[in-house]
Amino acid sequence: MIAATETSSSTPQSPVPQAIDPIALRRAFGTFVTGVTVITTRDGDGTPRGMTANSFTSVSLDPPLLLVCVGKAAASFAAFNTSDCFAVNLLHEGQTDVSSVFASKSPDKFQSIVHDRVHTGAPILNECLTWFDCTVHDRIEAGDHVVLIGAVQAFGTSPSAPLGFCRGRYAAIKDPLPPGWLASHSMIVGYLIEADGQILLRSDGKGGWVLPSAKSRKAENELKLEGGDALTLLPEETFLYSVFDVADSDPGYLIYRARLAGISAAIPMPPGFRFFPIANLPYDEIPAREICSLLRRYSRERRDESFSIYMDSNDGGRLARLDGTTLPWAQSAQE
């Protein structure tokens, strides 16, 4: 009896299962810092559908696979559950408004969002940080979500800072592009902006100066700046000016010549921006020699009121004069 009692009392007791508090669990999951994505697809009649999601991860490089989780209660769930393709659009730090639009119940989320088709036909958001165009590799039932595994068919990225998310709110990500990291499948889009005989340059944060840059390759009527400011450009005086590479491993440069609308060089610019007289540009403080060469060419052409378009080539490049004639860059540099 004693032995039996001792044996019985020393047997571990099975723990009583505790109910999981879904709200507390959601908060716990939310402590993991993620990016913010907009996943997109098209329904049966071709209408674009999309929703904000942060349950995204890479899966494999060979074959190239990724996954997203789509809630079954989402308004666009049926479209994602039946379509044979989808896209994942990672948002940059200036796209909190885009995130809010796709997190809403708006019946037409794409009305004010510029998007395009690339490979599969799934909507690609033009201004996003990174996009992945995928065909559906597999679907896996997982509780109140379906896991979509996508086979990447095409992708693109940019050097912008990502939009972060943690504990139910947006989070800032510092120093998103370490030294040596470059944007793939992309180009740096710069603007050579003149007003009152002066050129607008932007501080690179390291004591040097660079041209103002944009996120879209297409010439825009507005040049959006960090912090929400924007400079209005004259569309009739915005032209392609130069296309070139710095090195085989670097992104290319696409430079537009432009003028500001109704703004002179005397009006205060946002922090980090400054106008310099064309005759006194800070060449010694511009780190890229290619940009220095571009500005020297512009200075000559502005003086002569005879402009051209530069196209890079293996033998030093070509200048296409606006009257239709062409001139080797090496010859132009000697004039």
Q: Which two tokens stand for residue 53?
A: 């999601």
- Determine the pLDDT at residue 139: 93
pLDDT greater than 80 at residue 3: no
* Pairing of the two strands 115-116 and 326-328: unpaired
Q: Of 137, 169, 201, which one is at a domain's C-terminal end?
A: 169
Phi, psi of 4, rounded to the nearest 5 degrees? -60, -40
Neighbour-count burial of 64, counting CB atoms closer than 10 A to its CB (0-12 exposed, 13-18 middle, 19+ buried): middle
- Distance, in Å, from the CA atom of 44 to the CA atom of 81, rounded to the nearest integer, reads 11
pLDDT band at 247 (very low <50, low <70, confident <90, very high): low
Residue 50's H or E segment, with its range, is strand 48-53
**Which residues span the domain enclosing 156?**
32-169
Q: Is 23 contained in some domain?
A: no
Residue 64's H or E segment, with its range, is strand 64-71
**Which residues, including other chains, have CB under 8 Å from residue 252's CB and lie 6 or more apart?**
187, 188, 243, 244, 245, 246, 312
Same domain, 322 and 191: yes
For range 292-319, the mean pLDDT? 85
Q: Sign (positive/negative) of CA torsion 30, 35, 36, 40? A: negative
Same domain, 164 and 209: no
Same domain, 164 and 201: no
Same domain, 225 and 315: yes
Question: Which pTM does this prediction carry?
Answer: 0.52
Return the minimum-mean-pLDDT range out of 58-72, 142-156, 309-323.
309-323
Q: Is 25 contained in some domain?
A: no
Same domain, 55 and 131: yes
Residue 329's H or E segment, with its range, is helix 329-334
Same domain, 229 and 133: no
Selection from 110, 186, 188, 124 nearest residue 152 by Cα: 124
Same domain, 239 and 325: yes
Higher pLDDT, 206 or 81: 81
Q: Is 22 contained in some domain?
A: no
For range 214-229, the mean pLDDT? 63
pLDDT greater than 70 at residue 14: no
- Distance, in Å, from the CA atom of 202 to the CA atom of 180, rounded to the nearest integer, reads 21
Q: Please report, for the domain that includes residue 301, its CATH number.
A: 3.90.79.10
Higher pLDDT, 333 or 308: 308
- Which range in 30-34, 109-113, 141-145, 175-179 is most confidently predicted, on average pLDDT? 141-145
**Which residues, including other chains, have CB under 8 Å from residue 333's CB and lie 6 or more apart?**
293, 297
pLDDT greater than 60 at residue 6: no
Same domain, 198 and 164: no
pLDDT band at 295 (very low <50, low <70, confident <90, very high): very high
Same domain, 118 and 233: no
188, 177 in Cβ contact below 8 A?
Answer: no
Q: Is 176 contained in some domain?
A: no
- Which range in 10-14, 149-153, 251-255, 267-271 is most confidently predicted, on average pLDDT? 149-153
pLDDT greater than 90 at residue 88: yes
DSSP annotation of 2? H
Return the minimum-mean-pLDDT range out of 132-136, 137-141, 228-232, 237-241.
228-232
- Determine the pLDDT at residue 104: 86
pLDDT greater than 80 at residue 325: no
Integer angstrom CA distances of residue 8 from 40, 200, 219, 270, 315: 60, 85, 81, 78, 90
pLDDT band at 136 (very low <50, low <70, confident <90, very high): very high
Q: Of 138, 169, 200, which one is at a domain's C-terminal end?
A: 169
Q: Please report, for the domain that includes residue 128, its CATH number.
A: 2.30.110.10
173, 162 in Cβ contact below 8 A?
Answer: yes
* 167-214: pLDDT as tens digits: 877 877 775 555 555 544 456 788 999 888 899 998 887 888 989 887
For range 152-158, the mean pLDDT? 83
- Which range in 12-21, 125-134, 178-187 is most confidently predicted, on average pLDDT? 125-134
How far from chain centre, in Å, is Cα 194? Answer: 26
For range 133-138, the mean pLDDT? 93
Same domain, 113 and 193: no
The CA radius of gyration of the chain, in Å to the nearest whole number, is 27
- Average pLDDT across the chain, whole number: 80
Q: Is 228 contained in some domain?
A: yes
Same domain, 152 and 201: no
- Determine the pLDDT at residue 9: 46
Q: Is 3 contained in some domain?
A: no
Q: Which two tokens stand for residue 328?
A: 């080797």
Q: Is 137 contained in some domain?
A: yes
Q: Is 24 contained in some domain?
A: no
Higher pLDDT, 248 or 50: 50
What's the total number of domains in the chain?
2
Q: Of 119, 134, 169, which one is at a domain's C-terminal end?
A: 169
Higher pLDDT, 16 or 40: 40
- Determine the pLDDT at residue 21: 78
Same domain, 197 and 318: yes
pLDDT greater than 60 at residue 264: yes
